[in-house]
Amino acid sequence: MSSNNSATVDKYLEAIFYIAFEGEVVRPGRLAKWLSVSPPTVSEALGRLRRDGWITIKEDRSAVLTSAGQKAASNLVRHHRILERWLTDVLGLDWATADDEADRLSSAISDFLIDQIDASLERPLTCPHGNVIPGRAAPYGKLTALANLAVGTPATIRRISEVAEHDARELLLMLAGHEMAEGSLVQVVDVAIAQDEIGALVGGKRVALSVAAAQLIWVEVAT
């Protein structure tokens, strides 16, 4: 195991980390949806996590990682993102499949083996979706959601939200199908408000995205 915790504890710590990283408040209902479990199951699990010192629970019932919880969660996320990088770059798996397999492996694989894989990859800064590996600096500057990019402004895709990885798996497949990846050049060409759709050029090809999907794609404006 990557920690002395049960796989269930690891899943909760990792989920809390991801949701908080995306700027969301970590409420029980959000965790229930994220983990596909019932609200009573979440309430019971959060009680155990608080008892064991992994989280604090605020007056609004939201969960916040303690310093110990943050350290444990960061290590799990490090495992996951390095595994994703290895599974895509070395084994050639698609984004969605790599994420599924990393989910299965991240708690079970040792720190020693992760360190070896990391070294063999020459210590990448991000996962394949551009999310920074904990403990490393982001290789990009200020980001904005593609949905907020002004028409005609050139930009580079830098990060796909963890929410997309978890809640919108079809988006990962669609992006891969259109060859939209970290580092791809993108430009919004039109916004159809009535259809709730954004038209973008990627590699000279037009791609139609829902506004919700475009909110999950983070870009760096060209300077």
Tokens of 24: 């969301």
- Alpha carbon of residue 23 to chain centroid: 12
- Model's pTM, two decimal places? 0.86
Most distant CA pair in the chain, distance:
54
Q: Which letter, b or e, does each residue of 100-127 get, where b requires 16 or more Cβ atoms within 10 Å of its Cβ? A: ebbbebbbebeeeebeebbeeeeebebb
Closest to 95 in 3D by CA, of 151, 2, 170, 167: 170
Beta bridge pairs of residue 185: 156
The domains found in the chain, sorted by start residue, are 7-69 (1.10.10.10), 74-120 (1.10.60.10), 144-221 (2.30.30.90)
User: Hunting for tokens 């800064």 — which residue is that?
Assistant: 125
How confident is the prediction along the chain (223 residues), in pLDDT tens digits per residue?
345 568 889 999 999 999 999 889 999 999 999 998 999 999 999 999 999 999 999 999 999 999 999 999 999 999 999 999 999 999 999 887 888 899 888 888 999 999 999 999 999 999 998 999 999 999 999 999 999 999 999 999 999 888 766 656 677 777 777 777 888 899 999 887 657 888 899 877 888 888 888 888 999 997 7
Q: What is the number of helices (H) and of strands (E) in the chain?
A: 9, 8
- Alpha carbon of residue 157 to chain centroid: 14
